[in-house]
Amino acid sequence: MAIKELLVYVLTALAALVVLLTRLRLGRGASGRVATGGLMLAVHTIAGVVGLVIWVIFLVAPTRSANGGEWADLLGILGLLCLWLVVVAGMFILVRWLPSRGRHSGHAAADRWSRGPWLSIVAHVGMLVGVGYLTWAYAVSVV
């Protein structure tokens, strides 16, 4: 197994971790400045689970052949589209950490690694880079 192919599998596992941890971290409900709309979190979770299931099926499916190869291609594209939707939803979730101004804005919470924005920033910017790499790997037939 080549390094490029191994990296695809590692990034797929990390994407699953981002989807799971985002759901666990934000699913409890927060108030004030860090509140996230339920719809955005649902889009993030559903697109993530569906995208990862389709992508993993694409990865473990037999090598593309002349017979039925277009179905494998379609699975790869559909999985990547779902993962890109997760990236977009994740970027919108990150917006909640932007400082708000005004008389009724909430105060910034203590910025610790597990409570502040850093874990979300690392996860979702990493997801952006990771899905970009997965898309490149698909486009040049690494997987």
pLDDT single digits (tens) 34-73:
556 688 899 999 999 999 999 999 999 876 555 666 788 8
Read off the pLDDT of each residue in 82-101 and give the average, rounded to a whole number.
86
Task: Answer yes or no: is pLDDT of 31 > 50.
Answer: no
Q: What pLDDT sits at residue 132?
A: 97
**Tens-place pLDDT, residues 102-134:** 666 555 554 454 566 788 889 999 999 999 999
Is residue 16 within 8 A of residue 126, CB to CB? The reply is no
Q: What pLDDT sits at residue 96?
A: 76
Name the least confident of 26-30, 65-69, 97-101.
65-69
- How confident is residue 25, by pLDDT bands cut at 50, 70 and 90? confident
